[in-house]
Amino acid sequence: MVWRGDGEAQAEVVAGQLRARGIDALPTGIRPGSAEGALLIRSGTWAISVPARDAVAARRLLRQAGEGPLVIEGESPGKGLSRDQQATLVFAALGVLAVVAYLVYAAAKGSL
């Protein structure tokens, strides 16, 4: 993914800008928490995916077109996880800790 914004219309316009420059761009609606992760919906968060070989050029073109704040940064080899990846891991770790705490509490009360 190279871009994330609100609404299908905006995503289609941005994807069209990339296609006009020869980059195959696929806009997809994203509903947080959905099993599919990328349902086609009319409002909410939309993302644009491009082939990996075109990602750097797509991000550069999007910044030049004034879409900089909505550009999704790629992973930097050797620089660790992105902020989104770190946030996901923290959320997952907190969830695991909550489950473990519940199980310890339930075992101590003899509820298991």
Q: Domain spans of the chain?
A: 1-74, 77-112
Do residues 50 and 18 make contact, with C-beta atoms less than 8 angstroms apart?
Answer: yes
CATH class of 1-74: alpha beta
The pTM score is: 0.59
Beta strands in the chain (DSSP E): 3-6, 26-30, 45-49
Q: Residue-wise pLDDT tens for the chain (112 aa)?
A: 899 998 899 999 999 999 999 999 999 987 655 544 444 444 578 999 999 999 999 999 999 999 989 998 876 655 666 777 788 899 999 999 999 999 999 898 886 6
**73 token code pair:** 């940064």
